A = this chain, B = another copy of it.
Amino acid sequence: MSQMQNVETQLRQMILGLEIGPGEKLPERWIESRFGASRTPVRAALLRLETEGLVGRDGRGWTVSPINLAELEQVAVYREAVEVAALRLTCGLADRSAVDVIEAMLESCDHDTPREEWHRVGMDFHIELARLSGNEFLFRAVRDAMTRLSRARWLEVRDEAALSRAWTEHRAILAAARLGDADEAARLLSGHIVGSRDRLVTSLANDRRGLRARGFAVVAA
């Protein structure tokens, strides 16, 4: 793999995995030495990550984007629009058997699956569901929105109850989609997204002080 892709991928993982905290300074020279690459691939990676909203400019330099509660609320509205549109397209397809693949994804998580895996599958559910629509732009929009939400969801203190609730809702959405009931599927998905957003923002707003103490920049709604 080329250095360019390598730096970009590794840096993204470090940011999404909170190995580099939201708000931290990110000098090009530090990245350069950290990954053993020169500044050319480093800059390419930063430019790409900037469009994903994971890093941003702070005056002259680069910083990891802080968690922004106002942004999270806006992303939720955005993803509701695109996910519902994608789901309606999928419900209109003649062959909706692919939803079974997604169902299987959900079932692959059980009580001794690591937390990290639940987190990943919870996002992939939405991404793969959008992919079924066959619309590349709706798919990318959902994927990008989930990327922006990823760190916040990771920070959220998720109890078992919230996870099992989410899984139940995911299954209900798939059931409606399998029947081709677009209105019901859309209703369930909207409710799921709005509910998730509320729990996420509430949780983060409550933990804000603690998160800041851990060195994570969190800006209010």
Contacts and interface: CB of A to CB of B under 8 A. Distances in A.
A137 B77 contact: yes
Interface in A127-173: 135-138, 141, 145
A179 interface: no
Interface string A39-50: 010011001100
A40 B47 CA distance: 12
A81 interface: yes
Nearest to A136: B74
Interface string A56-92: 0000000000000001001101101110110001000
A141 B141 CA distance: 8
A206 interface: no
Nearest to A43: B44
A138 B89 contact: no
Given A51-B51, A82-B82, A141-B141, A77 B135 contact: yes
